Structure 1
Amino acid sequence: MDCDKDIKMEASCDGSHRQALLADFRQDTQEPSSPKTLAVQHSSPIRVAVSKRAMAGIAAAVALLFIFVASSWIPDTECIHGMVRPDKLGFPSDGRIDPVQVFLNIPSTERLSEHLQYYSSGTHVAGINRTQAIYTRDYFEAQGIDSKIVEYFPWLNYPVNQRVALFNETTSKILFEASLKEDILSEDPLTEDPNNLPAFHGYSADGNVTGQLVYANYGSIDDFRALEDAGISVSGKIVLVRYGGVFRGIKVQAAELRGARGVLIYSDPADDGYSRGETYPNGPWRPESSIQRGSVMRIQVYPGDPLTPGYASTADAPRIDPADAKNINHIPSLPLSYRDAQPLLRALQGHGRNASDIGDTWVGGLTSRGIEYWTGPSELSVNLLNKVKYKETSIQNVIGKIKGSEDSEHAVILGNHRDAWCAGATDPSSGSAALLELARALGELMKLGWRPRRTIILASWDAEEYGLVGSTEWVEEKIDWLRANGVAYINVDTAVSGTSFTAQASPVLKDLLYSVTQQVSYPHSNETVYDVWLRRSQGQNDVLDMPALSFDDSIDAEKKTAPPVGLLGSGSDYTAFMAHAGVSSLSMAFSGAPGAYHSNYDSPKRLTAFIDPDMELHQAMVRIWGLVAIKLADDPVINLNPVSYAKDLRRYIKALESHVSRQFSSTASNKQTDHSARHAVFKKLHHLRSAQRQLMISAHMVERDRDHLRAIYGDDCQMKSRRRHASCIKLRSSINDRAFSLERHFIDPEGIPGREWFKHVLVSPGRWMGYGAQVFPALSEAAEDGDWRQFQLHAKHAAETIHEAAWFLREV
């Protein structure tokens, strides 16, 4: 059987397919028997016979009949014979179900635990394990959800051989060689899985380089500028940086642009190790041998397959030459544990400048082990070997569809990625488990006769870890349909890595999220998720290689009265929907203790021991995710709020003004130029403020139309007069179309200069931020470059874009 072509294969085919891939990856290597890239073999997929599905339908019909009959004689008690009363589950006396109330009672912690154990039973890196895709498709189908596997063929790399050695170049004596391995823990069997990946970066360059060592703190663009100001060059050197601050791909790119030969990225205990608390297995934080894998793609240029920028990597799609791929770095890089980093940091001591002289944040947490942080360059040399194999590889997205009953052409998309560098209990298997339980809960509603008004799509993405590949390719293939019909995209990546609820979203979705979190109880408390979210929101965010969560406090005026909802930059599968297609998006999680991120210690044992022992945080996430989906897909009037967008836009402009003022002061050449240029620049910002006011006026018109609809007709348009019914439907459709299409009007077909794949005028990932979001990216980058002529042109275009969006909202 041809495993690449027959996507409906049995699970047994997966093993031969994997072995063929591995044999190809190992060619040209010295280790033909290496098991490093082997993926774990999972159990056979679920197979549900037609007869069982028929029986399920009969059972559902009997259950409904029981409900109708029983509702007339059930006594006024909570339970009967140990079963919850149907009316307490959301069944009114007339027999119609309330999908919200029924749904809240369905998610099961036991089933969530089973799903988590399955998905995180071993390493399942993209392109090697297709068994989980088949399992996911079959599980969706077992719930009555039409499902299929959609295959793409991106260019991916896999590890072959790695080495980091410190040596004396004069004598050739090796003084230290990094283990590049994580300790096996007897307490956690997954840490000794022979299929675990070695130290590795997705989309890293193949290479064998040698040079002196230089320490560059977090490796941000500002850190490299600080080294230059101190007279320290990284040209021809191996650069050592620590995780945190900015996305790892930015660190490698910034080093490459300054002539470095290679980059080593280590996890410092100050950021997520023993400085934060007890390390695994005694606590949730990163132990000394832990290695953080991940992609070093230039994700802020464009995500997805490097060889098919802007279009899907189908089997017959044309490919560009890898040398022309603008989102790939060209120098090798590897991740290190902080145990392996210590000898390298010691080799720097006394050379160059003391790191504390460069900046207050340059000293990490290894001082407790006698480490002094110095910049170098070192006298000793470092050899960095990163041998990788690139290959056009099959990946599998799983797409499930619940067709809408009335407005089926419009769709709400729910997504989580399935692939992981390791077992990935938190990232992403906590979200994958939640997606399966969400599918089951929606299936149970359908068995009771419920159908959403609009279509619901459930997506299990592949190859997210490499650079949002699976979701990006799907969006690029479906772009026209999405721009016409996409209502919203709701993303859950890491569902649970801590106990604090966090969210990033398009402003139109904020009110809905606030409403839903007020309906879901926070585990083991008398509070709702919203209550706890609001109470904890004044705390500081962790310094992590993760998306920015909110505005700077100085411009976040709403933070005192509502929980912060952050901007959507990049770093997860919402990116293509929001920044490329203009589909309003939401991403959410319970966050807080990512001390095993992308390591062999991200296991279900750690997750249940220190973060969510009874799986009730997972259950809460399913409830939030499901309620958001049901309301978006089933409410007659969609709860997307343009007024909220207009309010946030005012804050965007204020943030831009602050950014421009800082950049202007550093680029103006003299007082006269400063005065005249400032006048011209801030005049353009005045045009932005005027456009924002027009958007606010138009957004309130949509709000008034909603009030009018409810007062005159009612949301359901239930009236006998055919003429009044038609008028109601027309007005309701207009309100809904304006609300969910607003985001599309902030999409510029030309894109951001130099990063044309990103097309959102108001917010996109920053040029030197990676995951972090930047408001008015084209304007912000022109200001950073001191190109005030381009700034004024982009300001004029942004104001026109906002005005056009405002006029669109007035169309009825």
Structure 2
Amino acid sequence: MEAHAESESQPLLHPTRTRENSVASLFARGRSNTINGLKTGYDTVKRHRIQFLYFSFASLVLYLTFTLAFLPRTSLSRDFRRLHFSKFTKAETYRIYLESLLRENQIERHLDAYTAERHLAGDQNALDYTVNELKALGFSPKIEKYYPWLNTPIDSGMSLWINGTLEFKSGMAEDALEEDSTSFSPFPTPAFHGYSANGNVTARFVYCNYGKNEDYEFLKNKGVHLEGMIHVIRYGVLFRGLKVKNAEKNGAAGVILYTDPYEDGQVTERNGFKSYPDGPARHASGFERGSVQFFTDFPGDPTTPGYASKSPETKRVSPGGKMPTIPSIPMSAKDISRILPYLNSRGCQFDVEGNIKGFEYYSGPSDEHTKLQVFNEQDYKVEEIFDVITEIPGILKGSSIIIGSHRDSWTTGGAADPGSGSSILLEVARGLSKLLEKGWKPLRTIKLISWDGEEPAMLGSTEYGENHAVKLQKQSLAYLNLDTVITGCIFRCEANPLLSEVLKEAASLTPFHGNPDYSLLEEWKNRTGGKVDVLGAGTDFMVFQNHLGIPSANFKFLSNEINDPVYQHHTIYDSLTWMKRFGDRNYESHNTMAIFTGISVLMLSENELVTFKTHDYAQLIQENFKKWHALLNKAFPNDQYIASESLKLSSLISLIADNASVKFDDNVTSLRKKVSQDFPWWKIYKKIAIFLRLSVANNKLKKVDRLFVTDRGLKDRGWMRHSIFAPEKESGYVGDVMPGLHEAIVAGDPQEILEWLHILTNQMSLIRELLEV
């Protein structure tokens, strides 16, 4: 106690801090307060977390309830577009496209450029113009090159020799006309045939009318000598290549194909019409050029049948059987009139009419002192050609629509063929570019393709189709073709029946010649009853429809053969001057067709459910099979097996035409309404169900035409693989329905008939299953 008192009374030598005031103690105290605070806050949150969660959940429910209460009813169609950030309705899409083409028409500018120079296959100027125009519209066109084997003209001629003396020699060119600058071209195209054989033949000559098999049978029955002769054949009725093929088969040494003005209908000089350029009749000096390759059997490069000529080094085969082996040349009415009168009163007379002055349509042959010389020199080699492909990607992957037009021509000019189609293609591109500028994106991909090398043998389109066959069959919904689109005033449409409905609907929305109160559909019905014809041949849809089974269409304005000006087909007079004076003075028909084509494409692209109708297809098959069924019963009245198989197929076709296709189309129509039907949000399950049905229906509709493609193809022309559509074997240009069966019946081949009955029965069974499942 004393010691403790003493220490408290003595002064401190070193002042010291108390424990509570040290830095360490301050930190310690602060940390303790923080921990205590956190513990207290956590305890508070812990005590109230249930109330907090309840409050948050109640707020979310309140928000969602408020939002859903005012959520508008929507359709699957609108939902689908919103999901892909599309702000366009279908009606708005059609309106913008229509107005852009009605407001402005650039056809004349395009035609002026395309007809300024000669543009055979592979021409660079037409290629550059097409590419530059597409780029100016904001597109990025792609060029695909192919390397077909084809001919370029060197020289050709026809001379008449009497007793060894030259009596007449054709100039092989049209007359130059002051009124038409195209006829003064510094680079004229000589009169020649594509894929014609080289040769120099001097022989007597014989007139063989149209060169049909029936004409040759008539001549043989009359004892007319044909072997070793030059066969003179008039254009018309059947494809020129088949004329040369028939002549070769009947012993011809060479062939001359001439233009007879009688084929022009009423508008001829004989009927009092003045000839071009003073009037609408044909100018007698016109030479109709064209291909004589057998492309109604095998279009495309004859040295690469069934596969693409993708490079100069592509493996090639002999073109034998796909082109003539004898020389052929075209001839004008003017020059042939110097030749044919030498046949009068010789041989037999054909019971036909014609307008060749001084000729009475006798067969001949000419006497032994009167001979013709036919000379033909062509340069055959591998050439480079260019397809121009512009693609507008769609929202739906794996589905596309293709519009195609070729740009190569036989002559300088080519205003109608191919200028009208090429110009319309660029106008369609312009209309679509206006939509793209406003933020539109198509539902399905749209491809615009400018083909090269169509005139010789549909080279560009066929090589493209063969090159991309698998992808095209998987993805392509339809192909629309533009070729020689404007040559008269009668609207004609050839199409796969699946497309009939959508084309008529598009025509109903197309003002005819800009008249908002009169549609193209009304004009179509008034002129031809709204008829949709069967696709034939001779243009770029062949690889799509006849080889790959892609529904195709080909439409144009044709001459009415009563008072329409004569179209100067494949001559130097198919010019801008002719188009301005006689073809389409104000380019109104061009504009109508550009609108119609674009609206058709948009309808195929923008409708969620594919706009095909199967009943029209089934009806066409039924109507034609009735003819073949009757013909079979007549040709094989005692063959019970053929009769039984034919009856089985007939019953199956009738079941599809009268029942299955009708029900399927009705279901599709009902589904189409549901796609556009508005539902409240809580019925989303219904939209999902509709979407699934929509997907199934689209897949079925895309498969329909593919089911008619065979591996074997038609007999003797295996490239034609479609069992329902092909060019008619004897005429070429006209379309045939169920050609394999038809050809077997004509040939009287029971084994081939049975094979096609089995093929068609299997295919129709698959169609029935497709429509009924």
Q: TM-score, normalised by structure 2?
A: 0.84
Structure 1 residue 720: Cα displacement:
6.2
Are the equivalent residues in 1 in contact too, given 2:197–2:328 (CA < 8 A)?
yes
The answer to whether 1:649 aligns with 2:633 is no
Are the equivalent residues in 2 in contact too, given 1:159–1:387 (CA < 8 A)?
yes
Amino acid at match of 1:605: T
Query: CA distance change for structure 1 residues 97 and 383 in 2, over 3 Å: closer, same or farther?
Result: same
DSSP 3-state at the match of 2:204: strand
Amino acid at match of 1:685: S
Are the equivalent residues in 1 in contact too, given 2:498–2:616 (CA < 8 A)?
yes
User: Whole-Å Cα distance in 2 between the matches of residues 317 and 802 of structure 1?
Assistant: 42
Are the equivalent residues in 1 in contact too, given 2:304–2:317 (CA < 8 A)?
no
Query: CA distance change for structure 1 residues 109 and 596 in 2, over 3 Å: closer, same or farther?
Result: farther
Query: CA distance change for structure 1 residues 285 and 317 in 2, over 3 Å: closer, same or farther?
Result: farther
Larger CA deviation: 173-182 vs 495-504? 173-182
Deviations 1:648-674 (A, max 9, x none): 111121343465578x3xxxxxxxxx5
User: Whole-Å Cα distance in 1 between the matches of residues 463 and 236 of structure 2?
Assistant: 28
Q: Which residue of 2 aligns with 1:472?
A: 462
User: Whole-Å Cα distance in 2 between the matches of residues 787 and 251 of structure 1?
Assistant: 25
Q: Which residue of 1 aligns with 2:50?
A: none
User: Whole-Å Cα distance in 1 between the matches of residues 334 and 259 of structure 2?
Assistant: 9
The answer to whether 1:99 aligns with 2:93 is yes
Structure 1 residue 768: Cα displacement:
1.6
User: Whole-Å Cα distance in 2 between the matches of residues 716 and 575 of structure 1?
Assistant: 42
Structure 1 residue 722: Cα displacement:
5.2
Deviations 1:33-82 (A, max 9, x none): xxxxxxxxxxxxxxxxxxxxxxxxxxxxxxxxxxxxxxxxxxxxxxxxxx
Deviations 1:532-587 (A, max 9, x none): 222222xxxxxxxxxxxxxxxxxxxxxxxx42211112111111000000000010
Are the equivalent residues in 2 in contact too, given 1:426–1:497 (CA < 8 A)?
yes
Deviations 1:495-518 (A, max 9, x none): 211111001000011111111112
Are the equivalent residues in 2 in contact too, given 1:702–1:735 (CA < 8 A)?
no
The answer to whether 1:570 aligns with 2:558 is no
Q: Which residue of 1 aligns with 2:750?
A: 788
Structure 1 residue 713: Cα displacement:
4.9
Structure 1 residue 429: Cα displacement:
0.3
User: Whole-Å Cα distance in 1 between the matches of residues 714 and 331 of structure 2?
Assistant: 34
DSSP 3-state at the match of 1:98: helix
Count matched residues: 673
DSSP 3-state at the match of 2:572: coil
Structure 1 residue 680: Cα displacement:
4.3
Q: Which residue of 2 aligns with 1:587?
A: 554
Residues 264-663 of structure 1 mapped to structure 2, 5 A cutoff: 264-272=256-264, 273-275=268-270, 277-315=273-311, 318-322=314-318, 324-356=319-351, 361=352, 363-366=353-356, 369-379=357-367, 380-405=370-395, 407-422=396-411, 423-523=413-513, 526-537=517-528, 562-592=529-559, 593-657=565-629, 660=632
Residues 40-79 of structure 1 mapped to structure 2, 5 A cutoff: none
User: Whole-Å Cα distance in 2 between the matches of residues 317 and 489 of structure 1?
Assistant: 30
Larger CA deviation: 697-706 vs 747-756? 697-706
Structure 1 residue 726: Cα displacement:
3.0
Residues 139-218 of structure 1 mapped to structure 2, 5 A cutoff: 139-168=133-162, 171-218=163-210
Deviations 1:624-661 (A, max 9, x none): 10000000011111211111111111112134346557
Q: Which residue of 2 aligns with 1:758?
A: 720
User: Whole-Å Cα distance in 2 between the matches of residues 428 and 130 of structure 1?
Assistant: 16
Query: CA distance change for structure 1 residues 209 and 321 in 2, over 3 Å: closer, same or farther?
Result: farther
User: Whole-Å Cα distance in 1 between the matches of residues 670 and 585 of structure 2?
Assistant: 49
Are the equivalent residues in 1 in contact too, given 2:147–2:312 (CA < 8 A)?
no
Query: CA distance change for structure 1 residues 736 and 241 in 2, over 3 Å: closer, same or farther?
Result: same
DSSP 3-state at the match of 1:343: coil
Correspondent of 1:803 among 765, 768, 771: 765
User: Whole-Å Cα distance in 2 between the matches of residues 712 and 657 of structure 1?
Assistant: 41
Residues 603-752 of structure 1 mapped to structure 2, 5 A cutoff: 603-657=575-629, 660=632, 664=635, 675-677=637-639, 679-696=640-657, 697-710=659-672, 712-714=674-676, 723-752=685-714
Amino acid at match of 1:417: H
Larger CA deviation: 515-524 vs 640-649? 515-524
Are the equivalent residues in 2 in contact too, given 1:148–1:398 (CA < 8 A)?
yes
Q: Which residue of 2 aligns with 1:36?
A: none
Deviations 1:428-447 (A, max 9, x none): 10111000011010000111
User: Whole-Å Cα distance in 2 between the matches of residues 615 and 727 of structure 1?
Assistant: 48
Query: CA distance change for structure 1 residues 389 and 660 in 2, over 3 Å: closer, same or farther?
Result: farther
Query: CA distance change for structure 1 residues 121 and 658 in 2, over 3 Å: closer, same or farther?
Result: farther
User: Whole-Å Cα distance in 1 between the matches of residues 691 and 129 of structure 2?
Assistant: 41
Amino acid at match of 2:569: Y
Q: Which residue of 2 aligns with 1:66?
A: none
User: Whole-Å Cα distance in 1 between the matches of residues 740 and 173 of structure 2?
Assistant: 42
Larger CA deviation: 208-217 vs 590-599? 590-599
Structure 1 residue 122: Cα displacement:
2.2
DSSP 3-state at the match of 2:394: coil
Q: Which residue of 2 aligns with 1:236?
A: 228
User: Whole-Å Cα distance in 2 between the matches of residues 100 and 164 of structure 1?
Assistant: 55
User: Whole-Å Cα distance in 2 between the matches of residues 793 and 95 of structure 1?
Assistant: 50
Structure 1 portions without partners, runs of 5+ = 1-92, 538-561, 665-673
Amino acid at match of 1:733: S
C-alpha RMSD over aligned residues: 2.2
User: Whole-Å Cα distance in 1 between the matches of residues 579 and 190 of structure 2?
Assistant: 22
User: Whole-Å Cα distance in 2 between the matches of residues 365 and 658 of structure 1?
Assistant: 39
Point out which structure has higher relative CO (alpha carbons under 8 A, 6+ apart).
2
Are the equivalent residues in 1 in contact too, given 2:424–2:590 (CA < 8 A)?
yes
Correspondent of 1:125 among 108, 120, 126: 120
DSSP 3-state at the match of 2:436: helix
User: Whole-Å Cα distance in 1 between the matches of residues 484 and 176 of structure 2?
Assistant: 24
- Give the share of equivalent positions with the same residue, in percent: 31
Query: CA distance change for structure 1 residues 733 and 427 in 2, over 3 Å: closer, same or farther?
Result: same
DSSP 3-state at the match of 2:155: strand
Query: CA distance change for structure 1 residues 618 and 751 in 2, over 3 Å: closer, same or farther?
Result: same
Amino acid at match of 1:266: Y
Q: Which residue of 1 aligns with 2:37?
A: none
Structure 2 portions without partners, runs of 5+ = 1-86, 560-564
Correspondent of 1:773 among 735, 738, 748: 735
User: Whole-Å Cα distance in 1 between the matches of residues 168 and 207 of structure 2?
Assistant: 17
User: Whole-Å Cα distance in 2 between the matches of residues 453 and 437 of structure 1?
Assistant: 21
Amino acid at match of 1:376: G
Structure 1 residue 301: Cα displacement:
1.6
Deviations 1:397-449 (A, max 9, x none): 000000002x1321000011110011100011011100001101000011111
Larger CA deviation: 700-709 vs 209-218? 700-709
Structure 1 residue 736: Cα displacement:
1.6
Larger CA deviation: 719-728 vs 422-431? 719-728
User: Whole-Å Cα distance in 1 between the matches of residues 374 and 729 of structure 2?
Assistant: 28
Amino acid at match of 1:589: K
